Structure 1
């Protein structure tokens, strides 16, 4: 199984700090709610004028604070695909795969394997301990910064009241949604298992892809791949 979300048009030499987001938190039955479920994909400059680009992949949008934060699946390979010539075929790929409490990252030219993938074992980027309560960030020899672990998603959602409102029984929530002062953020403290890579733009190289405004862009999207 290979699942993807598409995020197009991240400026290679962006002049604003705008975050481009692809998110839905509801996926097809074959992947929704599984460890291969892609909840969000963010790609942005960490600050205006930065020479780096940050990629954030959120997996498993049902991670609750009282469930020991959740874990990454060692059978799932996550790939951040990067197209630099505008043909919407990946030219570069960042890979992340967990093993024994650490997330291992690989980076290099993408192989044309169709719907399949293989780990770029000869092109390691670095590895980091998978965080729990305390965030751990490593800086690789190439200057990339990497992270893997639970993160709180940037939205407020009273999940249980929402379920009560949509319940067919009109007595389930006769007053509807709660006012802000009474609502509870069900996922406060956790929500997704996140993979974060901040890379120097020099590692990504130049791009000939252009958006509708003729601004050079990287076309980038995420796939998850389950070991067969």
Structure 2
């Protein structure tokens, strides 16, 4: 009860004003680049073969260096994991995350009050909250749910400058194309993203109905960020 009270009070302004948030896509609008409304990566996977859980990882605001104080999650941005359970490409369940005063608050999974570009924070479906910190391990919440929010190492090995040379119109600066792994440079080595991680039992989501290229049954899922208007 004490934790629930803190949860509601921390988002009291959201409840009172019935905030509507509008979605944005990765780098499509200049105002999102480099902010925590800028989606870098989204992953959904089983933590181990045959697991009854699914892990969702959302990476935002790339190029946060470990040598520097990492950026903070924007308190005006709602991150929303959308899950389609009937194949119509409309979200049937959502998991939401929004930051307040150094903590990330999670809501859902629940049926959204509206679908598409607009969202409202589902304050009547609290899932848990964690401190935003790179030093804090994933925190296990109630009902077998685990949560995390904070900086994590950028997962990609990507020779960015060689890539730009290869795609240049004349290709004169990269006549041999891409470099072999032993010669390529990991341009983003040492760079962080800000990550939001949820591991949750599938029983809380509903049965997956899609089939991937490997013939495995999976969820149809995508992520959006929504900024307060």
Q: Shorter-chain TM-score: what band? A: 0.7 to 0.9
Paired residues in the alignment total 204
Helix, strand or coil: the match of 2:44? strand
Q: Cα deviation per residue 1:187-222 (whole Å; 9 max; x = unaligned)?
A: 434421000000011111224x34378864321100
State the distance in 2 between where 1:87 and 1:164 align. Answer: 41
TM-score (norm. length: structure 2): 0.75
More helix by share: 2
Using the alignment, how far apart are the partners of 1:37 and 1:193 within structure 2? 10
Gaps (5+ residues) in structure 1? 5-25
d(CA) in 2 for partners of 1:40, 1:161: 21
Instruction: Give the equivalent residue in structure 2 for 1:146.
Output: 147
The answer for the alignment partner of 2:36 in structure 1 is 35
Deviation of the 1:135 alpha carbon: 3.4
RMSD: 3.2
Cα deviation per residue 1:92-112 (whole Å; 9 max; x = unaligned)?
000000111110000011222
Matches within 5 A, 1:108-123: 108-123=110-125
Q: 1:182 to 1:120 in 2, by over 3 A?
A: same
What is the match of residue 69 of structure 2?
68
Residue 45 of structure 1 and its aligned partner are, at CA, apart by 0.3
> CA separation in 2, counterparts of 1:135 and 1:194?
12
What's the CA shift for 1:158?
5.4
Structure 2 counterparts to residues 44-59 of structure 1, below 5 A: 44-59=45-60
Q: Which residue of 125, 144, 147 corresponds with 2:127?
A: 125
Answer yes or no: is 1:106 the counterpart of 2:127: no
Q: Within 2, Cα distance between the matches of 1:136 and 1:215?
A: 30
- Given that residues 145 and 199 in structure 2 are in contact (C-alpha distance below 8 angstroms), is that contact kept between their aligned partners in structure 1? yes
- State the match for 1:9 in structure 2: none
Deviation at 1:186, TM superposition (A): 4.7
